Amino acid sequence: MSARLLELEDVHTQLTLREGVVRAVDGVSFHVDAGETLGIVGESGSGKSMTALSIMRLLPRSGRIIGGSIRFKGRELRDLAEAEMEALRGTDIAMIFQDPMTSLNPVYRTGWQVGEPLRIHRHVKTAASVAAAVGLFKKVGIPEPEKRAMQYPHMFSGGMRQRAMIAMGLSTGPSLLIADEPTTALDVTIQAQILDLLRHLNREFGTATILITHNLGVVAGMCDRVIVMYAGRIVEEGRTEDVFANPEHPYTWSLLRSIPRLDAEVRGRLQPIEGSPPDMARLPEGCKFRSRCSFAIDRCATEEPELRQVRSQLTRCWVTQGGVSLESQSDLD
Amino acid sequence: MTTYVLRRLLLMLPVAFLVTVGVFLLIHLTPGDPALILLGEDRSPQAIAQIHQQLGLDKPLYVQYVIWLGRIAHGDLGRSITTHQPVGTAIAERLPATVELGLAALFWSLIVAIPLGTIAAVRRGSIADQIATGISVGGVSIPNFFIGIVLIFVLSVTWRLFPFGGYVAFTKDPFENLRHIVLPAIALGTAGTAINMRFTRSSMIEVLNNDYIRTAMAKGASWRRVVFIHALKNALIPVVTIVGLQIGGIIEGAVVTETVFTWPGVGRLAVESIFNRDYTVVQGIVLLAAFSYMVANLLVDLVYGWLDPRISYS
């Protein structure tokens, strides 16, 4: 197990909000191996970003990790002093964020910002760090890198800013890159370019990547494995092709059915998931997806299922754990 | 940049014109006849009429205005009607002391406000924050003459640390100059300190919630680096606006402070001239105050450009 790059075990993170205490991450366990790409999928509020921020220990003021273990290269991150954590952030674990429009500091030149991790961690002089940033700009496909490095963020388009963010993340050659919805704020054509770039860099540098998204299409094209989160829990985990071919959790199954597809047989209307996500401050008993689930049985209302192996993946569902196949069940409807 | 400054200076002309109209009317509509002050006991109607004629006060108001405007366009602010000294000279003699006091007050307000406001923002809700809030509420609500009197009583009369008033030119004795300036600078600067601190605090709190702060932390920047390099430059943008207004307001504040500390600046000259109905001098000082506001505003806009690259002057 020590070969694991990152390993989370039963991590609990809670947010103390005005509405009450929210268990944003509730017993999450997973791992990432070196060079691997893991997708974390879920709708807003499912706890995927909070999981990432827990790993980075960059939770908002209201957030606190209250239990579990987060090991990176065998070191328990929860035990590290803040200074040790700082030494890790931006060097061995890098993170890029959803909104490139607001993620760069408006009052400093982009080259200065992209080169900053080198100044902080490698004690490189400003001029040399900006020169390194120019090289990184070239690598992530920013045209006229010398000129661009001297410009301010407001002179960059959204796609270019996200490229600059990626360049910043990769400046120190991290072993793990956490990309939190890196393409959500971008146009579709730019999204594809950014994903291509991430895939390419993942191969070139062997950087393990956690890709957080609400877009299953992004996961299909990029990730070796996928984790599906709902209400702060992992509800399904498996190899991407297995999960896409045979979802073993009704939530994943509904998510896949709600995506428009060009190659599928004509089934008529898209099927949205009925209802809305539960109120995280007042979670129901039993399975948290029950109220929106068309497969629910009596047991789902009273007991919450554990995450268990069903065929090739892990799932948190009484129905599939009982041996029922979702596909055959739905055909009966 | 140069074009921008030139354009701004040109745009100042209509404002300046309105300012002269305002100043002129304000002074001439104020009750009190300078002739009565000049004459003292001998107030015969003939003597008053003669003075009016000498000073041009017998002419219609708009004619007086045009004559006055023509003179100030040539840099001639007229002569004091009590001392007969040229107004320009009278103000120029007093101005360095006021500028020195104003800069010292501004320096005091910033050197206290920015660190305190930053600490209050970073540790909001803490005891340090509450103390800072208390100081700022006090600083704004206590009038500066009262702060001045308390400072004199405690630090110079009781503890004898500082002189209780007066002025020594820097060129004459730099140390004594600084010793004399400490108390009036604190008295004049405290209200500004309080306001600047509140601005720094709220602006800093807002900035610290930005995504780019999280980016900086994700890079492994230390908390100190995040606050002082990534946040502070952004947080100071609104503070500059308010400081600009304070620079413009230095002369007003100096009126009271200079009187309390017998500081020989423009503020005290204004008070003396008002008591003497020396309207030419008062006019000159009010005009100077108005122009210092205009110049301060221009300076603020230029500093903005330096702080915030999104503002362009082209």
pLDDT digits (tens, 9 = 90+) for B129-155: 999 889 888 888 888 889 889 999 999
Radius of gyration, alpha carbons of chain A: 21
Query: ∠ CA(A48), CA(A51), CA(A57), 5° rounding?
Result: 145
For chain B positions 23-62, those within 8 Å of chain A (CB to CB) are none
Q: Are A212 and A48 within 8 A, CB to CB?
A: yes
- What is the rounded distance in angstroms from the CA atom of residue A257 to the CA atom of residue A248? 13
Domains of chain A, residue spans: 6-229, 246-332
Could B212 and A56 be called an inter-chain contact, meaning their C-beta atoms sit closer than 8 Å? no
B5 confidence band (pLDDT: 50, 70, 90): confident
For chain A, residues with pLDDT lower than 50 are 1-2
- Closest-CA residue in chain B for A85? B220
Could B221 and A106 be called an inter-chain contact, meaning their C-beta atoms sit closer than 8 Å? no
Q: Are A157 and A188 within 8 A, CB to CB?
A: no
Residues of A with Cβ-Cβ distance to B220 under 8 angstroms: 86-91, 117, 120-121
Q: Are A209 and A202 within 8 A, CB to CB?
A: yes
3-class SS at B200?
A: helix
State the smallest CA–CA distance between residue A16 and chain B in angstroms: 16
Sign for the CA dihedral angle at A101, A107, A111, A117 comes to negative
A216 CB neighbour count, 10 Å cutoff: 20
Domain A6-229 of CATH type 3.40.50.300: yes
State the smallest CA–CA distance between residue A308 and chain B in angstroms: 34
**H or E segment and range at residue B59:** none
pLDDT digits (tens, 9 = 90+) for B34-91: 788 778 777 788 888 888 888 888 888 899 899 989 988 888 888 898 888 999 999 9
Could A121 and B220 be called an inter-chain contact, meaning their C-beta atoms sit closer than 8 Å? yes
Q: Are B239 and B199 within 8 A, CB to CB?
A: yes
pLDDT value of position B160: 87
Residues of B with Cβ-Cβ distance to A57 under 8 angstroms: none
3-class SS at B43?
A: coil
Residue B95: partners with Cβ closer than 8 Å, 6 or more residues away: B265, B266, B288
Could A104 and B233 be called an inter-chain contact, meaning their C-beta atoms sit closer than 8 Å? no
The label of the residue with tokens 């998510």 reads A255
A47 CB neighbour count, 10 Å cutoff: 26
Tokens of B13: 């002309």
For residue B257, count CB atoms less than 10 angstroms from its CB and return exposed for 0-12, middle for 13-18, buried for 19 or more: buried
pLDDT value of position A267: 58
pLDDT value of position A325: 83
- What is the rounded distance in angstroms from the CA atom of residue A47 to the CA atom of residue A63? 12
Can you name the residues that pair with A65 across neighbouring β-strands? A13
Could A106 and B310 be called an inter-chain contact, meaning their C-beta atoms sit closer than 8 Å? yes
Phi–psi pair at A234, nearest 5 degrees: -85, 125
Query: Is the model's pLDDT at B301 over the cut of 90?
Result: no
B114 CB neighbour count, 10 Å cutoff: 20
Residues of A with Cβ-Cβ distance to B232 under 8 angstroms: none
Mean pLDDT of B187-213: 93
Domain with CATH 1.10.3720.10 in chain B: 93-307
Domain B93-307 of CATH type 1.10.3720.10: yes
State the smallest CA–CA distance between residue B237 and chain A in angstroms: 10
What letter would DSSP give residue B85? -
Residues of chain B with pLDDT > 90: what percent?
43
Q: What's the N-to-C CA distance of chain B in angstroms?
A: 7
pLDDT value of position A251: 93
A63 CB neighbour count, 10 Å cutoff: 20
Of B23-32, B88-97, B205-214, B257-266, the poorest mean pLDDT is in: B23-32
Q: What is the 3-state secondary structure (H, E, C) of chain A?
A: CCCCCEEEEEEEEEEEECCEEEEEEEEEEEEECCCCEEEEECCCCCCHHHHHHHHHCCCCCCEEEEEEEEEECCEEHHHCCHHHHHHHECCCEEEECCCCCCCCCCCCCHHHHHCHHHHHHHCCCHHHHHHHHHHHHHHCCCCCHHHHHCCCHHHCCHHHHHHHHHHHHHCCCCCEEEEECCCCCCCHHHHHHHHHHHHHHHHHHCCEEEEEECCHHHHHHHCCEEEEEECCEEEEEEEHHHHHHCCCCHHHHHHHHCCCCCCCCCCCCCCCCCCCCCCCCCCCCCCCCHHHCCCCCCHHHHCCCCCEEECCEEECCHHHHCCCCHHHHHHHC
- Closest-CA residue in chain B for A152? B309
pLDDT digits (tens, 9 = 90+) for A183-198: 888 888 888 888 988 9
**H or E segment and range at residue B156:** none
Tokens of B150: 């308390």
pLDDT value of position A331: 61
State the smallest CA–CA distance between residue B252 and chain A in angstroms: 34
State the smallest CA–CA distance between residue A289 and chain B in angstroms: 32
Angstrom distances, CA of residue B269 to CA of A9, A241, B76, B148, B281: 76, 86, 18, 19, 8
A254 CB neighbour count, 10 Å cutoff: 21
State the smallest CA–CA distance between residue B235 and chain A in angstroms: 11
Q: Are A243 and A314 within 8 A, CB to CB?
A: no
- What is the rounded distance in angstroms from the CA atom of residue A227 to the CA atom of residue A252? 10
Residues of A with Cβ-Cβ distance to B224 under 8 angstroms: none
pLDDT digits (tens, 9 = 90+) for B284-295: 999 998 888 888
pLDDT value of position A1: 42
3-class SS at B263?
A: coil
Could B218 and A90 be called an inter-chain contact, meaning their C-beta atoms sit closer than 8 Å? yes
Residues of B with Cβ-Cβ distance to A102 under 8 angstroms: 210-212
- What is the rounded distance in angstroms from the CA atom of residue B265 to the CA atom of residue B101? 9
Could A165 and B215 be called an inter-chain contact, meaning their C-beta atoms sit closer than 8 Å? yes
Could A107 and B217 be called an inter-chain contact, meaning their C-beta atoms sit closer than 8 Å? no
- What is the rounded distance in angstroms from the CA atom of residue B222 to the CA atom of residue B243? 29
Could A103 and B217 be called an inter-chain contact, meaning their C-beta atoms sit closer than 8 Å? no
Which among B214, B219, B233 is the nearest to A117, CB-wise?
Answer: B219
Chain A CB within 8 Å of residue B297 CB: no
3-class SS at B167?
A: coil
pLDDT digits (tens, 9 = 90+) for A130-164: 999 999 999 899 999 999 999 999 999 999 999 99
